[in-house]
Amino acid sequence: MAPKVARREARRLGEVGLKGWRRPVADAASRPLTKVTPMSRDELRGWLGVGFVLMSSWYLGSTIARFLRTR
Protein backbone atom coordinates (compact mmCIF):
# COMPACT_ATOMS: atom_id res chain seq x y z
CA MET A 1 0.00 0.00 0.00
CA ALA A 2 2.84 2.43 0.79
CA PRO A 3 4.32 2.44 -2.75
CA LYS A 4 0.91 3.31 -4.19
CA VAL A 5 0.56 6.24 -1.79
CA ALA A 6 4.11 7.42 -2.57
CA ARG A 7 3.38 7.36 -6.30
CA ARG A 8 0.17 9.27 -5.79
CA GLU A 9 1.98 11.92 -3.72
CA ALA A 10 4.76 12.20 -6.33
CA ARG A 11 2.16 12.70 -9.05
CA ARG A 12 0.41 15.32 -6.93
CA LEU A 13 3.72 17.14 -6.40
CA GLY A 14 4.29 17.02 -10.14
CA GLU A 15 0.86 18.45 -10.88
CA VAL A 16 1.56 21.30 -8.47
CA GLY A 17 4.82 21.98 -10.32
CA LEU A 18 3.02 22.42 -13.64
CA LYS A 19 2.31 26.12 -13.46
CA GLY A 20 2.56 28.73 -16.19
CA TRP A 21 4.45 27.65 -19.30
CA ARG A 22 5.28 24.25 -17.81
CA ARG A 23 1.71 22.91 -18.13
CA PRO A 24 1.48 23.27 -21.94
CA VAL A 25 4.98 21.80 -22.31
CA ALA A 26 4.04 18.78 -20.18
CA ASP A 27 0.77 18.37 -22.10
CA ALA A 28 2.58 18.44 -25.44
CA ALA A 29 5.30 16.05 -24.29
CA SER A 30 3.00 13.56 -22.58
CA ARG A 31 0.98 12.72 -25.71
CA PRO A 32 3.79 11.15 -27.76
CA LEU A 33 5.45 9.65 -24.67
CA THR A 34 2.36 7.58 -23.86
CA LYS A 35 3.01 5.66 -27.08
CA VAL A 36 6.52 4.59 -26.03
CA THR A 37 6.10 4.15 -22.26
CA PRO A 38 3.77 1.97 -20.20
CA MET A 39 2.56 4.99 -18.20
CA SER A 40 -0.70 6.86 -18.53
CA ARG A 41 -0.81 10.48 -19.65
CA ASP A 42 -1.56 11.66 -16.10
CA GLU A 43 1.40 9.72 -14.71
CA LEU A 44 3.71 11.17 -17.33
CA ARG A 45 2.50 14.69 -16.65
CA GLY A 46 3.14 14.11 -12.96
CA TRP A 47 6.68 12.90 -13.57
CA LEU A 48 7.38 15.78 -15.93
CA GLY A 49 6.16 18.12 -13.20
CA VAL A 50 8.46 16.45 -10.68
CA GLY A 51 11.31 17.00 -13.14
CA PHE A 52 10.46 20.70 -13.38
CA VAL A 53 10.34 20.96 -9.57
CA LEU A 54 13.75 19.28 -9.29
CA MET A 55 15.30 21.53 -11.94
CA SER A 56 13.91 24.62 -10.20
CA SER A 57 15.26 23.42 -6.87
CA TRP A 58 18.68 22.75 -8.38
CA TYR A 59 18.74 26.20 -9.96
CA LEU A 60 17.74 27.89 -6.71
CA GLY A 61 20.32 25.91 -4.75
CA SER A 62 23.11 26.72 -7.19
CA THR A 63 22.16 30.41 -7.15
CA ILE A 64 22.26 30.49 -3.34
CA ALA A 65 25.61 28.66 -3.33
CA ARG A 66 27.05 31.14 -5.84
CA PHE A 67 25.79 34.02 -3.71
CA LEU A 68 27.36 32.59 -0.56
CA ARG A 69 30.71 32.00 -2.32
CA THR A 70 30.91 35.62 -3.48
CA ARG A 71 30.22 37.14 -0.06
- pLDDT of 34-71, one tens digit each? 999 998 888 889 889 989 989 999 999 999 999 999 98
pTM of the model: 0.76
Sign of the C-alpha dihedral computed for residues 22, 27, 29 and 33 taken in this order: positive
What is the torsion angle, in degrees rounded to the nearest 10, for the CA atoms of residue 64, residue 46, residue 28 and residue 40?
A: 160
Confidence band of 15 (pLDDT split at 50, 70, 90): confident
For the chain, how many structural domains are there in total? Answer: 1
- Domain span holding position 55: 2-69
Instruction: Identify the DSSP state of 57.
Output: H
